Structure formats: structure tokens, C-alpha cells
């Protein structure tokens, strides 16, 4: 077996469907079967597959140049995309550092945060606050700020956890309790904390938990008061997933650094971006070379990635994707909230995301094969069954995905 598959016990690997073509919201398998993709390839392919406007700009860019390094050189696709990202992200975010994946972009922000303080001679501010149930990627520093899920199990003995904060439940009492705890944490430890890293409004891989903007508004004020940087990871929530262009648009402030990935290129190529406030950028300006940020992924600002990202954003704006997302949201509400089953613990819907939390992982045993049999590709994470369709998915297609889920719930009743 030459391919080593992700998140998979290879000893138990069964036959995987071989994709030979993908079109719209459908995957075509080698055996002739055509299935609907309910999760748009790890949430990245927001336009669906084989999307002609993106194909076209990529072909043109390939004939011009596919890649040049960003060290000592620059190019129009990089400059154009950076300008565009500054324009569409919340006010105050002005400088773009490119990376080749979400995890690497997270590493970049954490390095930036530590150096932001060390450039000011504050070498003790090196720790991070993260949220319970967060997920920020699979590299080492990203694992340290992600939840202790089975993803990190094998490394538990070497990971350093700094500070983990819980998001509040919906009650007023819990809200003030969590804020007070946060306040105490900062009061006692601000001198050793570089930054807080979190997924705003919606935590994705860690269980699709939704929380109130007011909590983050408060957290932000306290971070300002105690000199702690804010890093918002929108690798999953960016580009419309929560119903606004960025989840940060629900808040009354911008973070010091914002991270984008996944849907950035419309799912065509792996790429990510860190967008920072001028306050962060300026701490690296100096006559001393060692104050510069010494990091540079080989394929950062790859011209193909930048070109396709620009076009993806242009289509998003021109075709009013936020409206499409609204109608997906409406359909999800209409069809999912009525589900009643003692096997279902909760149903959460925001933007173009629906999550059905089962009472345990057991209730989903065999579900993937069941769904495939009914022509749907879907892959729960632990006990969380979720739908994150492409924004161009047809109503009929989304309904048939939901009906397969209903059939399953009826079956295990
Ligand atoms: C997927 C994800 C990452 C990691 O991105 P990769 O491109 O897989 O490295 C980081 N943060 C969040 C919120 C994600 O969903």
C-alpha cells in the first residue's frame, strides 16, 4: 500500500472510492457511481467542483508563470490579492503574510506574537490562551492550542498546554462567571502571555460549538487592557461559512491578526494568509536586521493560488454568495430543527453549517457506508454529523442529503 491516508488506522482501511471526476456538488467514482458531497472537501470547495470561471483564470496564469519565489521578487497576483484581502477584511487589518496551509499560518501568527514582544524586550511573554474544543491544525504549536482530542493523543506527553478557557453557555450567570475567570487569569498571568488564539463565533472541527459575539467583545477589551494580542483563526469560518463574509464581522472589533485558509482559493490550491494590524507590523520595523520576521514558506503567495483566490472572491461578491448562504441556512432550519430523537443531543445551525450532535460516537457507526449507499459522501467527526455544502449546491441536492440523515436517524431509533 503506497498511499498513507490521514486520520486512518491503516490496518482497517477498506476499499476507498476512486474519484475520476468532480462537477458541481457531485463526485464521480471509477465504478460509475455519482454521489453528492455534503462537506465540500473539508469545507474548502465553496463553489463546488470544476467551476469554469476559476478554471479559466488558472489556465491563463499557467501560461504566464506558475510559480516564482517571493523572496527578492514580487508579482502582480500577490500584490492584487493582498490589496483585496486588506479591503474586504475588518478595518485595521492592513498587512498580509502568505503561507501554504492553515496550520503553517497559525505557526506564523504564534511566532509573530512571541517576536512582537521580544522585539520590545519583553522576553517573558511567550504563552498562549486558547479555547476548549478549539482546533487550529496538526503542526506542533497548533496542537498545543487545540483541544485534547484523539488527534493529539499520541503526543500528549510532549505538548505544553498554557491556558485553556471555556466558552460560556447561554445563561447570564455563566457568562459573567466565564468573564470573571478570564479577568482573573489575565490579572495573574498577563506578564507571561503573548496572545489568545481562537476560532470566532463557531468552533469547527472541535464539535461545531456556536457562541455569542458579546463574549469575544468582552474578551477583546480585557486583552487590550492587559496587553495581550488577539489572533482569530478564520481558516474554517472565513468566506461566508457563518453567514457573514467573516465571523469577525459579527464583532465590534478586529483582532490583531486574522488567519484565512481553506476556502481562500475556492478549494483549488492549498494556501493561507495572515492579515495583521499596523501595530503588529510596525514592531518588526527597525534598523536592526534581527527585528525582521524570519519566516518564508517556499510556496508562499504562489501565483496560481493568488490568481484563483482573487477570482474566487470576485465571484463571491458579484454573485452575492451571502444571499445563497442565507437560503441554505433557511432550508437547513426548515428541515433539520424538527428532528426529534433520543439519539440526538443537539442540533446547531449557523450560516451554511449544520451540525447534529449525537449522544455518542456509537450512534454513527456504519453511517458513512449507509450514506454512500444512498449516494451521499459525508464524514462525521467523532459524534458530530455535519453538513457544510458548497454555496452553489442546489436546493434539491441539499434536501436529498438531509433526507439520508433522516433515514439514518429513523433506522437507529
Ligand atoms: C483546517 C483548519 C486549520 C488547519 O489548516 P490546514 O490547511 O489543514 O493546515 C486551522 N484552523 C482551523 C480553524 C481549521 O479548520
Average pLDDT over residues 181-188: 98
Residue 5 has pLDDT above 90, yes or no: yes
* 262-316 pLDDT, tens digit each: 999 999 999 999 999 999 999 999 999 999 999 999 999 999 999 999 999 999 9
Q: What confidence tier does 149 reach under pLDDT thresholds 50, 70, 90?
A: confident
Hey, is 38 helix, strand or coil?
A: coil
Q: How far is the CA of 413 from the centre of ligand 1 (A)?
A: 34
Residue 151 has pLDDT above 90, yes or no: no
Residue 413 has pLDDT above 90, yes or no: no
pLDDT given at position 200: 98
Residue 176: Cβ within 10 Å count? 12
Average pLDDT over residues 387-400: 98
Atom of ligand 1 nearest to the CA of 205: 15
Q: How far is CA 159 from CA 2, 134, 242, 262, 278, in A?
A: 30, 15, 31, 25, 32
Nearest protein Cα to ligand 1, atom 8: 102
Q: What confidence tier does 191 reach under pLDDT thresholds 50, 70, 90?
A: very high
pLDDT given at position 194: 98
Q: How far is the CA of 49 from the centre of ligand 1 (A)?
A: 20
Hey, is 381 helix, strand or coil?
A: strand
Q: Directed axis angle between helix 303-318 and helix 76-88, to 10°?
A: 40
Question: Is 233 in the active site?
Answer: yes
* 349-380 pLDDT, tens digit each: 999 999 999 999 999 999 999 999 999 999 99
Which residues touch 224 (CB under 8 Å, ≥6 apart)?
none
Cα atoms in the 13 Å half-sphere on the side-chain side of 365: 5
Q: Which of 187, 215, 183, 188 is nearest to 199 (CA)?
A: 215
Atom of ligand 1 nearest to the CA of 199: 13
Q: What are the b/e assignments for 71-81, b being 16+ CB within 10 Å?
A: eeeebebbeeb
pLDDT given at position 280: 98
Q: How far apart are CA 409 and CA 413, in angstroms?
A: 6
The chain-wide mean pLDDT, for the chain, equals 97
- Judged by average pLDDT, the poorest of 45-49, 62-66, 174-178 is 174-178
With a 6 Å cutoff on the Cβ, whether 233 touches ligand 1 is yes
Of all residues in the chain, what percent are helix, strand and coil, respectively (each to 5)?
40, 20, 40
The rounded percent of the chain whose pLDDT value lies above 90 is 96
25-28 own/partner pairs: CB under 8 Å, 24+ apart: 25/49, 25/389, 25/390, 25/392, 25/393, 25/394, 25/397, 27/377
Nearest protein Cα to ligand 1, atom 6: 102
* 228-277 pLDDT, tens digit each: 999 999 999 999 999 999 999 999 999 999 999 999 999 999 999 999 99
Question: Is 135 in the active site?
Answer: yes
pLDDT given at position 136: 98
Q: How far is CA 56 from CA 59, 60, 80, 312, in A?
A: 5, 6, 18, 12
Q: What confidence tier does 148 reach under pLDDT thresholds 50, 70, 90?
A: confident
286-292 own/partner pairs: CB under 8 Å, 24+ apart: 286/119, 291/119
Atom of ligand 1 nearest to the CA of 203: 13
Amino acid at each position: 500500500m503506497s498511499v498513507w491516508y490521514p486520520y486512518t488506522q491503516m490496518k482497517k482501511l477498506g476499499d476507498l472510492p476512486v474519484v475520476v471526476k468532480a462537477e458541481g456538488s457531485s463526485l464521480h467514482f471509477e465504478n460509475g457511481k455519482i454521489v453528492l458531497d455534503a462537506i465540500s472537501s473539508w469545507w474548502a470547495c465553496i463553489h463546488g467542483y470544476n467551476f469554469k470561471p476559476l478554471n479559466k483564470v488558472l489556465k491563463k496564469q499557467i501560461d504566464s508563470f506558475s510559480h516564482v519565489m517571493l523572496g527578492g521578487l514580487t508579482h502582480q497576483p500577490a500584490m492584487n490579492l493582498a490589496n483585496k484581502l486588506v479591503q474586504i477584511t475588518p478595518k485595521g487589518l492592513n498587512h498580509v503574510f502568505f503561507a501554504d496551509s492553515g496550520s503553517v499560518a497559525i505557526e506564523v501568527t504564534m511566532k509573530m506574537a512571541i517576536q512582537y514582544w521580544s522585539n520590545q524586550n519583553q522576553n517573558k511573554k511567550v504563552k498562549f490562551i486558547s479555547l476548549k474544543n478549539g482546533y487550529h491544525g496538526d503542526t506542533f504549536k497548533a496542537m498545543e492550542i487545540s483541544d485534547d482530542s484523539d488527534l493529539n493523543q499520541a503526543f500528549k506527553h510532549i505538548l505544553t498546554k498554557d491556558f485553556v478557557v471555556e466558552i460560556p453557555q447561554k445563561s447570564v450567570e455563566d457568562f459573567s462567571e466565564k468573564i470573571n475567570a478570564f479577568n482573573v487569569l489575565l490579572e495573574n498571568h498577563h506578564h507571561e502571555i503573548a496572545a489568545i488564539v481562537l476560532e470566532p463565533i463557531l468552533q469547527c472541527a472541535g464539535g461545531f460549538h456556536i457562541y455569542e459575539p458579546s463574549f469575544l467583545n468582552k474578551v477583546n477589551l480585557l486583552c487590550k487592557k492587559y496587553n495581550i494580542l488577539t489572533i482569530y483563526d478564520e481558516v474554517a469560518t472565513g468566506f461566508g461559512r457563518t453567514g457573514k463574509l467573516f465571523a469577525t464581522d459579527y464583532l465590534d472589533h478586529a483582532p490583531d491578526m486574522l488567519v484565512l485558509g481553506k476556502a481562500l482559493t475556492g478549494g483549488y490550491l492549498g494556501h493561507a494568509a495572515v492579515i495583521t494590524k499596523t501595530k503588529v507590523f510596525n514592531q518588526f520595523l527597525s534598523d536592526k536586521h534581527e527585528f525582521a520576521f524570519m519566516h518564508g514558506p517556499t510556496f508562499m503567495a504562489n501565483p496560481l493560488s493568488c490568481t484563483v483566490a482573487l477570482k474566487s472572491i470576485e465571484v463571491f461578491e458579484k454573485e452575492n454568495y451571502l444571499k445563497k448562504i442565507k437560503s441554505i441556512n433557511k432550508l437547513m432550519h426548515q428541515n433539520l430543527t424538527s428532528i426529534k430523537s433520543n439519539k440526538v443531543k443537539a442540533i446547531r445551525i449557523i450560516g451554511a453549517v449544520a451540525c447534529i450532535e449525537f449522544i455518542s460516537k456509537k450512534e454513527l457507526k456504519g453511517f458513512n457506508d449507509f450514506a454512500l449507499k444512498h449516494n451521499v459522501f459525508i464524514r462525521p467527526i467523532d459524534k458530530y454529523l455535519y453538513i457544510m455544502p458548497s454555496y452553489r449546491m442546489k436546493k434539491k441536492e441539499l434536501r436529498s442529503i438531509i433526507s439520508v440523515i433522516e433515514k439514518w436517524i429513523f433506522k437507529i431509533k
